[in-house]
Amino acid sequence: MPGVEPIFTRPRLRFARASTLVTVTLLLACSPATVGSGDAGVSADQACTDSAYAKCSRYQACSPIVIQLRYGDESTCEAAIKQNCVNAIAAPSSGSTPQNVEACAQAVPSWDCPDYLYTQNPPPACVQVTGSIPDGGGCSHPSQCQSGFCAIVPGDACGSCAPPPQPGDSCAQLTTCGQQLSCQTSTLTCAVFAGEGAACGSSQPCAAGLNCIGSTSTTPGSCQVSATVPNAPCPTGSAGCELFAGLVCNSSSMTCQSAQLVAPGQPCGDINHQTVSCQDDVKCLGESGSTPGTCEQLAAVGGTCDLVNGPACPTQTRCVLSGDAGASDGGTSGTCQYAGTSACP
């Protein structure tokens, strides 16, 4: 596959101007000055290097805070995306090739920022590629499947090719809903993103730069535009501040202030009247109301993870449980692994 990013349910940036709003300095990755030319003879290593650089650079251009939220820093972003890309090309029956990976890398810089941050409306070169394995066959990458979707149960290394989920389908036993859909953690259902003024709620997230206002357990709310300018008012009942623009609402001044992200092991939650978030896409453990918590320590690639108790795995990897039975053996502890290159049963 061209390196499709996982879907997240955080609000997305409405425009690409956030570099002056982020309080944490991003590490600069050692990357090629330009991506390749799309030459038919490009190697898998070069194509995946180009793809990783293009994707992480696009994050940096659209919303620098996204790299911190999902990867911690740009060099980690590039390393993770490249490894997953190389493995996808090497997987049996994969439709992912150096040539189509390079073509997507060339298209990424023109991908609309609000869409790019959640893999919406990809350019043609970045649409999920397909392989030759029919539904029911074993897979570890979506690019191996004729359907372009590999259904993997959390904790398992391999899954089965299947039709892509549709909005409203359950994702309780899936690691992803596929390209352009989000698995809503509150309802464990796959969903599309609603536009401005559309109905929203626990099973219907809002799209770029929007927050759901007025929803209850019985009544849908409405997607409204979040503030993207520092010091903009964010009164109770408003759409608040856009995190991907590097802003959070200060509950004392009721204005949008620069977001703060902290490393695993650091205090998080409600601190000095505004939310402090964790980088690396980890949980804030122990947070309750105005009581701060602590950012979960992230497991290393190849390190021990636990699906229930943590620690979680880095972005682009999965917690694969011990034993051939995978998640069916009843255990919750495993190791953090990239999707592999071996044939799946």
Rounded Cα distance between 275 and 113, Å, is 25
pLDDT confidence of residue 185? 86
What is the mean predicted confidence (pLDDT) over 72-93? 97
User: Among 7-21, 92-106, 216-230, which stretch is predicted with the lowest mean pLDDT?
Assistant: 7-21
For residue 73, is pLDDT > 90? yes
Q: Which pTM does this prediction carry? A: 0.84
Kind of pairing, strands 260-262 and 274-278? parallel
Chain mean pLDDT for the chain = 87
pLDDT confidence of residue 9? 36
pLDDT confidence of residue 27? 34
What count of other Cβ atoms lies within 10 Å of the Cβ of residue 190? 24
| Residue owning tokens 């620690």 | 311
260-283, pLDDT tens digit by residue?
999 999 999 999 999 999 998 889
pLDDT band at 313 (very low <50, low <70, confident <90, very high): very high
User: Among 179-188, 250-259, 315-324, which stretch is predicted with the lowest mean pLDDT?
Assistant: 315-324
What is the mean predicted confidence (pLDDT) over 137-160? 97
For residue 11, is pLDDT > 80? no
pLDDT confidence of residue 186? 87
For residue 113, is pLDDT > 70? yes
Which of 10-14, 143-147, 308-312 has maximum average pLDDT?
Answer: 143-147
Closest CA relative to residue 262, chosen from 294, 292, 240? 294
pLDDT confidence of residue 326? 44
- Tell me the percentage of the chain whose pLDDT exceeds 70: 86
Cβ–Cβ under 8 Å, residues 154 and 326 = no
Contacts of residue 95, defined as CB under 8 A and 6 or more positions apart, other chains included, come to 1, 129, 130, 131, 132, 143, 144
Domain ranges of the chain: 190-294
pLDDT confidence of residue 160? 98
Beta bridge partners of 259: none
